[in-house]
Structure 1
């Protein structure tokens, strides 16, 4: 069809008129139409056809802006009626036409018929019959039957006094067009978001149109609320550069709305721009544009969209999932997660902060979940600098932090919730945050309970705020619009953080370890009998920190009547080894009472100011529960208690089951309790790929080296078969991608920072090195080669028992020596102990088995880091002796 329209341009006016077909795109006036072909891979060709032998009135025209010598011209009588008659009859319909004449200026004149052949309705004849057009009688040819028939029809219209031939001249048919609105904001508000009948007169791009509002003939520009389509950017020289899919988006809107009867809901008017939603009997164009991948949601205008923002998000999500048009290179934030890791049910064990909780998975694993897209209460401006000398306690000193924590605690603790992971926020290094402590990787999710979105509930009460993102940032809550709406309600109603009232103050006295203060509280707590409390922290199975709401104080509480296994702790003589099952006892107590509301009976206190007594939760005595589960033994001090018989019964039951720590002293000797573990030397081959300036190094396990080689070969083969389009990838911090290294090859990488499109900081996850690249040297990482297929192969280590020199020159010498000796070589590695940043290891040369760290000590390049663990003393002693001799 497109070729049929295009072919007519080459037609010879002198030859017999050739019948052509097309779709009417637009009616310019009562005697001119624009006909287009069928689209094939893009917007189709089009041409203007002027109806032969007739003339209709000219429509109104606005003066050219900025030219004082021009002015507005009104409609000619019956011009708009002629246009409307023709528009309603032919717009969007298939017609056939012949071109009878073509002027030197390129204007084409011909006959237009409804349908596929000339048996259809002759449009010119219909206009003349209704008295909406006049016949050009000059130069009438006697052998032209079409022209003669038009003259007869005109005579009949005159006799019937139709249209132009009615008495009075038709002044009542001239529109009073209004090109401007004095106060557009009041105009929009006055309509109360009621649908207004309109005709779409022009389509600027996919989401901006010019509309004629009826019946008052306001001509206004309307931008579709909630979305943005690719557009045509105007360059300095006045030319326009189309963004990808801008022409297709414009045609999509034109083919459905141009000169159609529609209804428009005018929703807002910020900055003189009218935002609205266009409703057509065949659907909502806003949703259709999103679903077809011609538009993206925008937050700033989404708030005024009245037809349900969730529908727009769902349409955009569908386009992303199918990677349609503008989303052809889209990679979802959770693309690397399995379905079971994206959605799961878990039990809430702890509220860490006003936006973070710890949940227990079905596997028994504990996982920290951050609520997506919200920010907990925090200090702003001058408040940060107040009370510097006072011990700062965020839970009580940050306004509304305590209320937010309490809301989550009462709502969630011990309950099962539904977790939907929205995105994984990459770890932030101290360098990126300007020296601020680094944040580890965060799992951000939407958490619901009983159909209630916890983040939304928190925001609606004014106990958290919503994070604002860059428009292209996809790492956000899947219910982001509901969060924004909840925040707007909280602001309107002055809730919580948005209240103008004085902020709540929590004066909580911490008397933990304060012996004198504890003595003052002791008589009061003893007389009170059972007191309400909230377990704030669990130090061990029998040692807890409690918040007493009535007394507004924090106390350390020891369970009476039992002897619980002790955990490991630092002593002046060295590290005290944990007793068996101490960790299990701590976990048991945490799962049973942490952040729960309990009742306590205070009996006494110890010399350190810790209160001793009994703790009850939902009718369960925690001391009895620990004994019953063989995680503690009855202490002789329980004899004076009314719970003594219950404790003995529980201990006897546990003894009969022969579980865990029952009769611990008779089963294990003192030697067994204090037995030290031996150093484990289990060296494995690794390949050192990178050395850092801080004397850390990255290494790959040799046994997985073939997997990496196979993956890289497959990945590069795919790239060779389907070359990548440069500049099509948009880098975002934390995303995995592939990067083109200096050798011209592609490697897997993670984006650590984006300064500009020309400066993107990447980390090569399989080799450990870093580089700053242009975004043109980056591309999306295919799921087939993601970290799910093969985890990152470069692991960071540092040398055990070694102090990194503080002097820059000395450190550089040590690094140079290590680079010279082990970089890009195979070595043997053994993990000695863990560290804050990475494991501390000993490294041996693969051939000689000589210790690399020991060699650095021998050369006097580093000093020995003395460790206290007994099982490491021999290694430390050997190196320390060498270090001393080197100094001497």
Structure 2
């Protein structure tokens, strides 16, 4: 076979000037068969990547294969196979792929492409591939541009004539139609397509290797052309250069991984197990070759890493993949050469413990009390509670996120986020009071606050099991939690992370919980805590109900709890009746008040008994703050009695009228005798004879009235301390002028002290927050003046330590008028209020404390300039009645007030306009003296 001359026609039949090419003989391995007359041969490597050359078989032409239309080229359309094109390609593929060949180059248009003769084996004595194709009728001999002395061409013509005579291959007219494939270049619904195979292996031929884990293949015998990724792994990739889109940048080991796969799978017969679809509609599959599973081989050799988003699709289970990856990491194979294990920071003794669940902190966190009494908050590893963005129903309806709940306040996550309440209830019913096994997976370090995220303390994340059930897995499988997507290099994750991912996929497929597109559960829960008017309206219902079922939402102290009443769908603050429990640290008029002894022990006992338990309550009454008071039973146990029995509470005098008084008294006496708990320092009282004072004492203070309430209470400032208040206020305002507070930075909390800008004069004053409805409605009371108003949080600021209540005690003192009963009639009460405002305006007064009733000091108030008794004036005008006081020392003063009252009666003033209203205070009207 001679080399072509300069004027010889190319195999395409066109005249072309070509430089003489010396006859070259090359050996190589067939990498790929492009068509029936074109192959790619990989040469033997010499220190670098193996050279590749496309070899077109000289003197023959094979039928052309079908081509896919290029979407990036206008007017590009798909073409069909020419008859026997696929059979020709397949004949060469099965004969040549992976085998050594010898070829001679006769003509080379470029370094990568040439024309020549190809022989099986190490030299030209092997089988001539072109001759075999002609003999099988899968190609025809080229007749243009051939020299007359080309003996090889004559031999090919003879073989072609023989094939024609025998009706082989393309010369078989009867088989021409059935020899053309119906190629399906695209799949309309990839998910349904994958499901149709039901996980059964399908025969395929790998057509192209994009990188180590992404390939294209023809499925047989359907001829679907599919692009797929290997399930569960990711290899280093080739990425487009952003500056030059035609150029690709290879990640480390990307070329090696691609070569590893090409040499084993390219144009090999494999079986694909179709397992899923990626977000880009690329199929997920496992390629099975008779010699092994390429997914596992890539991991073993360090060419790939496990990926969470597709590992659950791997049909043979993710555990083996994780094991192979871990072994490659430990060996430092290839992509893991710089990998070093991270220290979890968990002591071996802390990695595993057991305990009783005493609280459901959140939909993904619980409080566990171990045998030694230690309480640890444990977060379930690798999951998080539901969010609004997770709800499939809201996504489908394109509903906006609620900025306020139905009551107009800020959203309450437990009730306003779909399925958050269901998640909490699942944990409560399954775990509260139960023993669990905790296996710590990792610790999440403390996180400082940022502009967008709040601060988080260190969190202990663990796998929690109860009765052999993984609680996180159970939550996720019911659609009541979502799996956290960790970074690929983040090993801090659940030990059962793959099982969690699989559970999430099952929940999505079965449309459970947040994945459901049906109507979401709605919880319209009314919070009547601290709402006096609502509590009063609700009280009769609970009293008539007798015993009511409730769930303890939170325990504030030993005798103070927050309850959820499922039947009434409301939240109430509940106080245990009949006992006086030690109180914890709290805000008081003078700042933070210290906790009472044994308050922590009482709180711990009540939490252990009641927290998140289903209880029975008997409501008796409410207090002035709208808190319900009554008896609580947990599994038949009276909580009040249990606290008294443990010496963690005293019996309150109000218990005398209850049927539990005897049991409470007996338990208290036992604790006194044993000196238990709050009675540890108890000493028997020494009987002291009390001699009642017979003379009224006077110790007048000069005061100014700053505020009067419709209940005829007054707020006064002692004038001796007014100079100190003025000095503190001036200093405070000067500081705020030089360093003004940032609007909106202050977060108001009920009971906290703050600075408030008064609406009337736009000046800053010290205040205390009484109630927070929303950031636009914050109820504040000015502690130095007694007046109140409702303001937005933007007009509030933090109270610096140098101006707090320890620096100067609140100057507004609340008093009531001694010996005066406030009128029950609203009109007369308003008239009394108006007169009191007139009498106390712009004057100084002498104040004397007479007695204390219901926690409020009752005083007599004399105007300094004319010694007018303000209370006596209200009585003389018939706007107040005289209260009955039995103290001997006050009998003379009471007599004077009664004398003024009698004068008002005779004159029929105001209350006495229609006669003697005290006539109803007779025995026949039920009055008892």
What TM-score bracket applies, with the shorter chain setting the length? 0.5 to 0.7
Q: Is the 8 A contact 1:101 1:110 kept in 2?
A: yes
Distance 2:492 2:484 in 1: 11
**Following TM superposition, by how much is the alpha carbon of 1:410 offset from its aligned partner in structure 2, in angstroms?**
1.5
1:381 alignment partner, SS class: coil
Distance 2:76 2:528 in 1: 82
Q: Is the 8 A contact 1:540 1:586 kept in 2?
A: yes
Q: Does 1:171 align with 2:176?
A: yes
For residues 129-148 of structure 1, the aligned pairs below 5 Å read none
The 1:629/1:315 distance shift into structure 2, 3 A limit, reads same
Q: Does 1:510 align with 2:447?
A: no
The 1:418/1:64 distance shift into structure 2, 3 A limit, reads same
The superposition leaves residues 162-210 of structure 1 with CA deviations (integer Å, 9 ceiling, x where unpaired) of 8459765963674335364585669937955565432122223334333
For residues 410-449 of structure 1, the aligned pairs below 5 Å read 410-415=429-434, 416=436, 418=438, 421=441, 424=444, 427=447, 429-433=449-453, 438-440=455-457, 442=459, 447-449=464-466
Distance 2:617 2:440 in 1: 37
- The corresponding residue for 1:408 is 427
Q: Does 1:581 align with 2:598?
A: yes
Q: Is the 8 A contact 2:526 2:571 kept in 1?
A: yes
Q: Does 1:374 align with 2:384?
A: yes
- The corresponding residue for 1:544 is 561
For residues 151-550 of structure 1, the aligned pairs below 5 Å read 161=166, 163=168, 168=173, 171=176, 174-176=179-181, 178=183, 180-181=185-186, 183=188, 188=193, 191=196, 195-224=201-230, 229=235, 230-233=237-240, 237=244, 239-244=246-251, 245-264=253-272, 273-281=281-289, 282-286=291-295, 289=298, 294=303, 305=313, 307=315, 310=318, 314=322, 318=326, 322=330, 325=334, 335-337=344-346, 345=354, 347-360=356-369, 364-367=374-377, 369=379, 372-377=382-387, 381=400, 383-385=402-404, 394-396=413-415, 400-415=419-434, 416=436, 418=438, 421=441, 424=444, 427=447, 429-433=449-453, 438-440=455-457, 442=459, 447-450=464-467, 452=469, 454-455=471-472, 457-458=474-475, 461=478, 463=480, 478-479=497-498, 481-482=501-502, 484-486=504-506, 488-489=508-509, 492=511, 495=513, 498=516, 500-501=518-519, 503-508=521-526, 510=528, 514=532, 517=535, 521=539, 525=543, 528=546, 530-550=547-567
Structure 1-normalised TM-score?
Answer: 0.58
- The corresponding residue for 1:599 is 616
The 1:271/1:662 distance shift into structure 2, 3 A limit, reads closer
**Following TM superposition, by how much is the alpha carbon of 1:233 offset from its aligned partner in structure 2, in angstroms?**
1.3
1:540 alignment partner, SS class: coil
Q: Is the 8 A contact 2:386 2:514 kept in 1?
A: no
Aligned to 2:67, which of 52, 56, 62? 62
Provide structure 1 residue ranges, at least 5 long, that are not aligned to the other structure: 1-11, 670-801, 812-862, 871-888
Distance 2:186 2:669 in 1: 89
**Following TM superposition, by how much is the alpha carbon of 1:369 offset from its aligned partner in structure 2, in angstroms?**
2.2
Distance 1:236 1:297 in 2: 30
1:664 alignment partner, SS class: coil
- The corresponding residue for 2:584 is 567
The 1:534/1:665 distance shift into structure 2, 3 A limit, reads same
Distance 1:580 1:340 in 2: 33
For residues 435-834 of structure 1, the aligned pairs below 5 Å read 438-440=455-457, 442=459, 447-450=464-467, 452=469, 454-455=471-472, 457-458=474-475, 461=478, 463=480, 478-479=497-498, 481-482=501-502, 484-486=504-506, 488-489=508-509, 492=511, 495=513, 498=516, 500-501=518-519, 503-508=521-526, 510=528, 514=532, 517=535, 521=539, 525=543, 528=546, 530-560=547-577, 562-573=579-590, 575-602=592-619, 610-632=627-649, 660-666=677-683
1:204 alignment partner, SS class: strand
Q: Is the 8 A contact 1:30 1:86 kept in 2?
A: yes
Name the Cα RMSD after superposition: 5.8
The 1:551/1:557 distance shift into structure 2, 3 A limit, reads same
Distance 2:504 2:244 in 1: 41
Distance 1:668 1:243 in 2: 89
Distance 1:403 1:383 in 2: 19
Distance 1:159 1:390 in 2: 89
- The corresponding residue for 2:711 is none
2:427 alignment partner, SS class: helix
**Following TM superposition, by how much is the alpha carbon of 1:261 offset from its aligned partner in structure 2, in angstroms?**
1.4
2:360 alignment partner, SS class: strand
The superposition leaves residues 323-364 of structure 1 with CA deviations (integer Å, 9 ceiling, x where unpaired) of 765566678898455566666655432223334433345661
Q: Is the 8 A contact 1:43 1:247 kept in 2?
A: no
For residues 32-111 of structure 1, the aligned pairs below 5 Å read 33-36=39-42, 44-47=50-53, 57-60=62-65, 62=67, 65=70, 66=73, 72=79, 74-75=81-82, 77=84, 80-93=86-99, 95=100, 97-98=101-102, 103=107, 105=109, 107=114
Aligned residues: 662
**Following TM superposition, by how much is the alpha carbon of 1:534 offset from its aligned partner in structure 2, in angstroms?**
1.8
2:425 alignment partner, SS class: helix
Q: Is the 8 A contact 1:343 1:421 kept in 2?
A: no
Structure 2-normalised TM-score?
Answer: 0.56
Distance 2:43 2:327 in 1: 27
**Following TM superposition, by how much is the alpha carbon of 1:306 offset from its aligned partner in structure 2, in angstroms?**
7.1
1:384 alignment partner, SS class: coil
2:65 alignment partner, SS class: coil
The 1:339/1:241 distance shift into structure 2, 3 A limit, reads farther
Q: Is the 8 A contact 2:415 2:525 kept in 1?
A: yes
Q: Is the 8 A contact 1:158 1:165 kept in 2?
A: no
Q: Is the 8 A contact 1:460 1:489 kept in 2?
A: no
Q: Is the 8 A contact 2:403 2:410 kept in 1?
A: no
The 1:44/1:645 distance shift into structure 2, 3 A limit, reads farther
Q: Is the 8 A contact 2:69 2:78 kept in 1?
A: yes
Distance 1:187 1:558 in 2: 59
**Following TM superposition, by how much is the alpha carbon of 1:373 offset from its aligned partner in structure 2, in angstroms?**
4.3
The 1:608/1:382 distance shift into structure 2, 3 A limit, reads closer
Distance 2:598 2:631 in 1: 22
The superposition leaves residues 424-483 of structure 1 with CA deviations (integer Å, 9 ceiling, x where unpaired) of 3762524245xxx55555556665544555455545655556778899998877356346
**Following TM superposition, by how much is the alpha carbon of 1:262 offset from its aligned partner in structure 2, in angstroms?**
2.4
2:552 alignment partner, SS class: strand
Q: Is the 8 A contact 1:428 1:438 kept in 2?
A: yes
Distance 2:76 2:602 in 1: 92
Distance 2:506 2:272 in 1: 27
**Over alpha carbons, which structure has the higher Rg?**
2
The superposition leaves residues 121-169 of structure 1 with CA deviations (integer Å, 9 ceiling, x where unpaired) of 8878876886767899999999x9xx89999996998699484597659
Which stretch shows the higher mean deviation, 152-161 or 259-268? Answer: 152-161
**Following TM superposition, by how much is the alpha carbon of 1:521 offset from its aligned partner in structure 2, in angstroms?**
2.9
Distance 1:84 1:550 in 2: 74
Distance 2:192 2:634 in 1: 62
**Following TM superposition, by how much is the alpha carbon of 1:258 offset from its aligned partner in structure 2, in angstroms?**
0.8
